């Protein structure tokens, strides 16, 4: 597990670093908000321990900017009274918080549980095929860096294909699932939706994800 500690007090930073390293974490340290945000955005961490009172950029600002790009779990460190209440920090996108002074063992335990939680949540929230990510909670679809706008039906259709990734789904199964009625699978409604969906997710990409299985239905294949 790799974590980032953003804390300007040298003593606290190295104390945390040592503690986490003893527990076999890989640890990077940042000593101000700008450096911390830069590292958080450019490196992949399993969790971030973020102090609130930081030079150059405050912890809340770091958190707000990080959350526009990434959902890395964040544990906020706060001196008593800095954070009005738990809600403020959690609303700002923190996953947990700890009031200073704290016990090292508790900090490590909280980080561990954040990482565990995010690892459990990720597959449940997100359906992934290659560089395509559908987030079921946020209702967003991305392919690589591009955000793809889908209508409600197209979203449902893609979600269904992703859930059945690498298996062929029949036309009638799709129709039943998406329209919740059984209409003639010879109808071209499905073809119209399929064409639109494929245009949105596959056009301009060398690797196509959706494939037609002639006479049967469709399959969304993971290129990996
Ligand atoms: Ca500080």
Nearest Cα residue to 51 out of 22, 26, 27, 76: 76
pLDDT tens track of the chain, all 224 residues? 889 999 999 999 999 999 999 988 889 999 999 999 999 999 889 999 999 999 999 999 999 999 988 889 999 998 866 666 566 667 778 888 898 889 999 999 999 999 888 876 555 678 899 999 998 878 899 998 899 999 988 998 999 999 889 989 998 888 887 876 666 656 788 899 999 999 999 999 999 999 999 888 999 999 87
d(CA 57, CA 61) in angstroms, rounded, equals 6
CA of 100 to the centre of ligand 1 (A): 10
d(CA 174, CA 180) in angstroms, rounded, equals 9
CA of 102 to the centre of ligand 1 (A): 14
CA of 219 to the centre of ligand 1 (A): 52
Nearest Cα residue to 94 out of 106, 80, 78: 78
For CATH 1.10.10.10, list the domain ranges present in the chain.
126-220
- Helices (runs of H) and strands (runs of E) counted in the chain: 8, 12
CA of 58 to the centre of ligand 1 (A): 9
CA of 30 to the centre of ligand 1 (A): 11
pLDDT of residue 33: 97
CA of 129 to the centre of ligand 1 (A): 41
Residues 6+ apart with CB under 8 A from 153: 178, 193
CA of 77 to the centre of ligand 1 (A): 9
pLDDT of residue 176: 80
Q: Is residue 185 within 8 Å of 172, Cβ to Cβ?
A: yes
CA of 7 to the centre of ligand 1 (A): 6
CA of 47 to the centre of ligand 1 (A): 18
CA of 210 to the centre of ligand 1 (A): 50
* Single pTM value for the model: 0.56
For CATH 3.40.50.2300, list the domain ranges present in the chain.
2-121
pLDDT of residue 180: 65
Q: Is residue 72 within 8 Å of 50, Cβ to Cβ?
A: no
Pick the CATH number of 126-220 from 1.10.10.10, 2.40.100.10, 3.40.630.10, 1.10.1040.10: 1.10.10.10
Q: Which CA distances in Å does 190 have to 24, 80, 170, 176?
A: 52, 58, 11, 11
d(CA 118, CA 137) in angstroms, rounded, equals 14
CA of 79 to the centre of ligand 1 (A): 9
Pick the CATH number of 2-121 from 2.120.10.80, 3.30.930.10, 3.40.50.2300, 1.10.1240.10: 3.40.50.2300
Nearest Cα residue to 190 out of 205, 208, 212, 164: 212
CA of 51 to the centre of ligand 1 (A): 6
């Amino acid at each position: 597990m790799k974590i980032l500690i953003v804390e300007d007090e040298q003593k606290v930073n190295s104390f945390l670093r040592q503690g986490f390293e003893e527990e076999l974490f890989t640890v990077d340290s940042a000593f101000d908000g700008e450096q911390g945000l830069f590292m958080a955005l450019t490196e992949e961490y399993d969790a971030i321990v973020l102090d609130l009172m930081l030079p150059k950029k405050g912890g809340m600002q770091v958190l707000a900017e990080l959350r526009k790009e990434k959902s890395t779990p964040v544990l906020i460190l706060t001196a008593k009274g800095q954070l009005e209440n738990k809600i403020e920090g959690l609303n700002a996108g923190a996953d947990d918080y700890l009031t200073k002074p704290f016990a090292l063992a508790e900090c490590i335990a909280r980080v561990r549980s954040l990482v565990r939680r995010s690892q459990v949540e990720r597959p449940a929230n997100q359906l992934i095929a290659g560089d395509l990510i559908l987030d079921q909670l946020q209702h967003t679809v991305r392919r690589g860096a591009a955000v793809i706008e889908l209508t409600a039906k197209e979203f449902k259709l893609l979600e269904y294909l992703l859930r059945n990734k690498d298996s062929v789904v029949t036309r009638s199964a799709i129709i039943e699932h998406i329209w919740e009625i059984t209409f003639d699978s010879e109808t071209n409604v499905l073809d119209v939706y399929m064409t639109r969906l494929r245009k949105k997710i596959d056009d301009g990409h060398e690797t196509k994800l959706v494939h037609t299985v002639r006479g049967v239905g469709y399959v969304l294949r993971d290129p990996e």
